[in-house]
Structure formats: structure tokens, C-alpha cells
Homo-oligomer: A and B are copies of this chain.
Amino acid sequence: MDQCLGDTTPDEVLIPMQTDGSFLMSDDRVREPLLAASKRAMNTTSQTAIVGTKRCTIESLDYEVVENDLFKEDWRTKTRVQIFKYVCMKWSLALLVGLITGLVGFFNNFAVENIAGFKLLLTSNLMLKERYHAAFVAYVGCNLLLATVAAALCAYIAPAAAGSGIPEVKAYLNGVDSHSILAPGTLLVKIFGSIFGVSAGFVLGKEGPMVHTGACVASLLSQGGSRKYHLTWRSLQYIKNDRDRRDLITCGAAAGVAAAFRAPVGGVLFALEEATTWWRNALLWRTFFTNAVVAVVLRSLIVYCRGGKCGLFGKGGLIMFDMSSTVSTYSTADLLAVMILRKGAVFKIIHTMSISLLTSCCSYGIPWLARCTPCRSGNFKNFQCPPGHYNDLASLFLNTNEDAIRNLFSGNTGNEFDISTLILFFIAVYCLGLVTYGIAVPSGLFIPVILAGASFGRLVGTILGPISDLDPAIFALLGAASLLGGTMRMTVSVCVILLELTDDLLMLPLVMLVLLISKSVADNFNIGVYDLMIQMKGLPYLEAHAEPYMRHLVAHDVVSGPLLTFFGVEKVGNIIQILKTTGHHGFPVINEPPFSEAPELCGLVLRSHLIVLLKGKRFTKDKVLTGSTEVFKSFGSFDFAKAGPGKGMKLEELEISADEMEMYVDLHPITNKSPYTVVETMSLAKAALLFRELGLRHLFVVPKTPGKPPVVGILTRHDFMREHILGLFPHFNQRKKMNEEQT
């Protein structure tokens, strides 16, 4: 089954994957759902979300340690050598992630500077010969070509690679999985799409995509090799669970920031403040290591390139940010963008091309409005001006985004930019940034925000020039910081990233101050841009705090669907049928007489483990316990390990004969006998806290009074989503906003 769905079938997809329990009861045994379906609400929240520009099925990740007999046996028999190998593996992979991300980051910059440099050189050479129309055609042509290639890559090969990628990575680290978020195709398109997109002169950055790239690299390395390409190095298999993958992908995201901004400490803080949901101090240490590797790789390569061996690649100077616009305008603009993204591939390409055309016209057209000024040092453009003079508008517009930022940040130059220039540039960049983020190429948000913030700050600085002692460059830095703080709501990481970029620690108190103000003001209007994107894309993100209305509900109130359970020793046919007809990933296992005195909860069994167990065919004719030792003989320790996304064994691969269908299988060896449980009268807020803090996928709700069936239901991520709960209890849809601070 394809994990991602075509763009044409959104309705079909929205049908919830749970089916009615009664449908299954063609069995010889009467099995009723433990609670009558009529009493239970269905969970109708969507099981799909938008990843990049494509609607994909989403699943939760398994962070819980599955403490079944196999795990315990494995744990007991683990040798020192194996443990040592495992630890080495983790660190080697962290090293590799740093190495590869550093290389990719360098390659990105190298490619962009060469392509964009060639394009700008061509244009300015034509202009020097006063062939202005030819220059325009060359400039627009190059941009259009690059934009089309980028859009085509995204539209046809990996729609998941479009956009910044940070919301998707953030959602993944919150426990939301979709095959395409971190697939190899996504990685390739992300890299090349980003290169072409940035080279095409759009108002977008390569930093968000770098975060996604780092995460993809880490994900690929943590797959435990690939059977398809015969890369099944045994040591790789030690990393076969979602917890270790999560850690490595956190390292990858941090490495992405480090590579994009050359800000290793900022990268660690970004991972901590923005990206991850579950943070451990061990992770701080590992991301720090990865980022140190990135820093060393970048440094060495830049030193190597200094000799002019890398074409137009300069001293690699300050490599900058990416993002788009101000505080209160996101919702509408982004909504528009997301709506456009739903259209077909051809539309996406045309859309991208038109934005490209618009951007090119602005870049080439607006500078004609400026006067010529005598030259100063810096990367300035003379455009139509005579030698020895420069055009200040062209120095901002007809330049790479990084160089424009560098020009805005350049100090001790007095009023090198006219007030009208700054106003024009601010408005143009702000508007272009708004429309550009919607196009279907990998597009970061940092650069547009910094461009707009810096030009606005410099504008204020220039206006206040007569009455202020501060350099306009400092105003530009503060403007960039405040717009970043207002849009992304990150504080410490923006602070450190800006410090690492500008190498000016004296600015720290001022930067902190503007960040405080901008974040406080912006928080009154809406949430951060990445969180908004996550909401719009429909990714089921678990918030850190419980919502206030959850205090008024108990766990039992939101339990949904008919509950399907297995017995400790279960008929093969039943298992197959339930697996076929539901999409659930975990089932309660109930012990009944004669295996226990009364019906009691034995534990939790996972769909993937069931499939592996059935494949092993350790069936018995009668309803008896086979015990764990039997099972250990048939399976190795990695057979039950969680496969990478889209790589696990499929139900369809099983070949079970009709005879076998009537046989029994002992589920005890693969049952996680320590599932977390809450009593049905537990307040939902506290259940949510438990679910989120421990990173669970399934949480059992057990009855309060003895004598009832041993499980009332299972809570999953979707049951804690606002839409589900407010759908069941619409009257809670108030008092929310004010209470938010309180939890």
C-alpha cells in the first residue's frame, strides 16, 4: 500500500480507519466488544495530514519500551560486547550525521554561490555593455529555468520536500510519523530543490530545508541498513527502535541549523527550544558532539576553498537565515498558500513560475528608481550607474539574499542606503516573502524574515539617525532579531544564532530586550509560525500542557470506538481477521480462565509483533501455553525490532492455510506486560500529562470498580486532540484562551 495518497482523493481518505466491531463477528465464538458500541463515540479526527504539499497517512511512533518476555530475555543475555557495540554505534552514527550534514551544507552553499554568482555575473556583464534588455531577458530566463526545475522536482518526485520542513520535523519529533517526511526521495529533492530555489532569486532561504535535510540524513542512517540495496550491516541493527531514531534525528536537525548558519551552539539550542518534544541531557551532549563535527567539517572545507579552488564560492562568509513576514499576517497568507498547495502538479509549477517572474521583475525593475551614489567598500552593485558609483537599490535587490543582508548589517557606513530605498525594499521583500512561502519548492523562512526585519530596522535607524548614537547597522540587527522573535517565538536560540553570526557579544542585552518585547507582543495575537503550520497541515501535535477543559473530563469520557481484545492464547483466524479489518496498532491481551482465576489484563500486543509472530507459525492445535522458550528458538533478537518507516512486514505477506486459521497461538511471549494504565475516573488532564511525558502510543483505561471487564478502552494520540474532545463536548469551547498560561 502506498503510504502517501494522491492529491485527488482527499475525501476517501478522511474516512476513519476504525470499523465497527460487529462486522468481525463471523467467528464461531461470540465476542462482543467490551463496551457496547452505542455507548461509545467514534473518533473521527483525520488519520492523514499534509506533509510538504501532499496529503499522507500518519501514524504514531512507538517510544515505549516493549517489556515483553523477548525483550527481557534479550536484556538478560546481552553481553558486554553487545552493549559496547550499541554505544559505539550510537556515537558513530552521531558522528556520521554531523559529517554528512556538514558536507551537504557546504555543497549547498557551494552550488548556490556558483549558480547564483554565474547568473548575476552574466546579467551585470550585459549591463556593463548597456544591453539592458538582454540583461533583463538573461536574468528572468535564468530565474525562470531554475524555478521551474525546482518546482518540477517537488511536484513530480517528492511533494513532501516542499516548504520549510521544520513543521514536519517538529511533528516527527513529537511522535507523528509519515513515511514521506524523511524518505530518501524527500532528501534528494530537498537538497536540489533548495539549491535551485535559492539560486532562482526567490525571497526564501536554505536554512529551514537544511534542518529537514539533516533530519533526513539521520533517519536514513538509523534505518538499520536496507534489504533492498543489500546494506544489512549487522551492527546497524542495534538502532532498531523509535527512541534511538528520535535521538539521532534530533542530532540531525541540530546539525542542519549548525551547517546552515555555521552556528553550532545555536543549532543545539534550536533543537532544544524549537524542534524536540522530549529532551534529555544526554541528548544535549550528543547534539553538541554532532554540531562540533559539523563546525570542523565546514571550517576545513572553507579553509580549503580560500585558495579559489571552488569557483565563485567566496569566503563562505556569514551564511544566513530563512523565514517569511510579521506577526499577525501569517494565518491568512499561509492558509492561502496551503490551499494552493492542494492543487495539481502542473498548477504548482505554473504558480512557482509566476512568482519567479514577479520576483525577477521586482529585482530588476525597482532598482531603476534609485539614484547613483559614489562608491564605498562592500559588495555593492553599480547597475546602470557609471564606474565609481553604485545603485543602492540594486545592491539590495539584484544580489543574493545573503549579500543583501550583509549590506544591511554593514556598519560604520553612515547613510549608504537612502530612506526611500529602505522603504521600497522593505515593502517589496515583505510582500514577496508572503507570496513566496506558498510555492512548491523547499523554502526556508529565516532569510525573508531577516531581510524584512533588517531593512525595517535600518529604516528606523536611518530615520532616527540625527537623534541616536547607534549605528544603523545595529538597528538592522535588532530589527532582524525582533522580527525573528515575533514570528518564530524562539528566544535563546535566536539570540545565540545571531551572536554566532555577527560575532558581536556587546549587542546581547539589546538583542534580548527586543526579543522579549517582540515575543510578548506577538504572543497576544497568535502562536508561532511553525505551530501554525503544524495546525494547518493537520499534524496531530501533542502539546506540553494539558488544556484546561481536560480538567473537567475523565479518561472514560473520551475513550472511543469498539474495543477489540485478544485472549492470551488466541485463535489464529481471529487475529488475522481483526488485523485485516482494523487499522489499530495495539491491542489489549486478556487472560481468562483457565489461565487466570478471573479475566485480567495481561498486557499490550503490537500489530507489528503479531505479524512477525504469525509468520513464525508456532501454532498449536489446542488452547495451551507454548511458553517463551519455544518462541525464542524461532526468532532472533532483531526480528521483532521496529523496522524503518514503510519497511515493516506486511499483513498481506502472510500465507496462512485454512487449517492453520483454526489453530491457536500463545501471545504471552510478545505481550508487553507492563503497559501504563489509568483508572477510568482519572482526570483527562492528568492522563494527558502521563501520555505526553512518557511519550506513549497506547494508554489503557482500566475500570475503577472490580468485577467489570479488565479494560475499558485505549487512549491514543488522536483521543487527546482538541477536535476530537471538543467534538464530543462542544460546550468546552470557551474559557480556553485565558486559562492557557495556567497549566
A285, A519, A710, A739 — most chain B CB neighbours (10 Å): A285
Cβ distance A579 to chain B, nearest Cβ, rounded Å: 26
- Which residue of B86, B552, B739 contacts A742 across the interface (Cβ within 8 Å)? B86
Q: Once the chains bind, are B295 and A509 in contact (CB under 8 Å)?
A: yes
Q: Once the chains bind, are B600 and A706 in contact (CB under 8 Å)?
A: yes
Residue of B with least CB distance to A83: B738
Q: Which residues of B contact A685 (CB under 8 A)?
A: 65, 67
Using A72-B551, A84-B738 as known contacts, say yes or no to A681 and B673 having CB atoms under 8 A apart: yes
Q: Once the chains bind, are A683 and B693 in contact (CB under 8 Å)?
A: no
Q: Which residues of B contact A678 (CB under 8 A)?
A: 676-677
Cβ distance A599 to chain B, nearest Cβ, rounded Å: 9
- Please, how many angstroms separate the alpha-carbon atoms of A677 and B690 in the complex? 11
Q: Once the chains bind, are B681 and A742 in contact (CB under 8 Å)?
A: no
Restricting to A353-391, which residues have a CB under 8 Å from any CB of B? none
Cβ distance A597 to chain B, nearest Cβ, rounded Å: 6
Q: Which residues of B contact A273 (CB under 8 A)?
A: 281, 284
By size class, the interface of chain A is 35 or more
Q: Once the chains bind, are B676 and A67 in contact (CB under 8 Å)?
A: no
Cβ distance A673 to chain B, nearest Cβ, rounded Å: 6
Using A299-B509, A598-B707, A690-B690 as known contacts, say yes or no to A268 and B492 having CB atoms under 8 A apart: yes
Q: Once the chains bind, are A499 and B508 in contact (CB under 8 Å)?
A: no
Q: Once the chains bind, are B500 and A508 in contact (CB under 8 Å)?
A: yes
- Please, how many angstroms separate the alpha-carbon atoms of A694 and B694 in the complex? 9
- Which residue of B72, B83, B512, B552 contacts A741 across the interface (Cβ within 8 Å)? B83
- Please, how many angstroms separate the alpha-carbon atoms of A294 and B624 in the complex? 70
Bitwise, A655-686 to B at CB < 8 A (1) or not (0) is 00000000000000000011011110111011
For residue A491, CB closer than 8 A to chain B, the reply is yes
Q: Which residues of B contact A87 (CB under 8 A)?
A: 741-742
Q: Once the chains bind, are A706 and B707 in contact (CB under 8 Å)?
A: yes
Q: Which residues of B contact A65 (CB under 8 A)?
A: 685-686
Cβ distance A598 to chain B, nearest Cβ, rounded Å: 6
Cβ distance A603 to chain B, nearest Cβ, rounded Å: 9
Cβ distance A303 to chain B, nearest Cβ, rounded Å: 12
Q: Which residues of B contact A505 (CB under 8 A)?
A: 499-500, 503, 505
Q: Which residues of B contact A83 (CB under 8 A)?
A: 738-739, 741-742
Q: Which residues of B contact A67 (CB under 8 A)?
A: 551, 683, 685-686
- Which residue of B491, B495, B682 contacts A674 across the interface (Cβ within 8 Å)? B682
Q: Once the chains bind, are A681 and B690 in contact (CB under 8 Å)?
A: no
Q: Which residues of B contact A596 (CB under 8 A)?
A: 705
For residue A513, CB closer than 8 A to chain B, the reply is yes
Q: Which residues of B contact A545 (CB under 8 A)?
A: 282
For residue A704, CB closer than 8 A to chain B, the reply is yes
For residue A423, CB closer than 8 A to chain B, the reply is no
A269, A500, A552 — most chain B CB neighbours (10 Å): A269
- Please, how many angstroms separate the alpha-carbon atoms of A284 and B273 in the complex? 8
Q: Once the chains bind, are B598 and A295 in contact (CB under 8 Å)?
A: no
Q: Once the chains bind, are A516 and B292 in contact (CB under 8 Å)?
A: yes
For residue A80, CB closer than 8 A to chain B, the reply is yes
Bitwise, A56-87 to B at CB < 8 A (1) or not (0) is 00000000010100001001100010011011
- Please, how many angstroms separate the alpha-carbon atoms of A683 and B503 in the complex? 51
For residue A625, CB closer than 8 A to chain B, the reply is no
For residue A289, CB closer than 8 A to chain B, the reply is yes
Q: Which residues of B contact A282 (CB under 8 A)?
A: 544-545
For residue A272, CB closer than 8 A to chain B, the reply is yes
Q: Give 5 closest A-B pairs by Cβ, nearest first.
A: A706-B706, A292-B512, A693-B693, A674-B683, A87-B741
A273-B284, A289-B516, A598-B705 known; 18 new pairs, CB 8 Å cut-off, are A72-B551, A83-B742, A90-B741, A265-B492, A269-B269, A272-B284, A282-B544, A285-B491, A288-B492, A292-B512, A292-B513, A296-B513, A596-B705, A598-B707, A600-B706, A673-B681, A674-B682, A693-B694
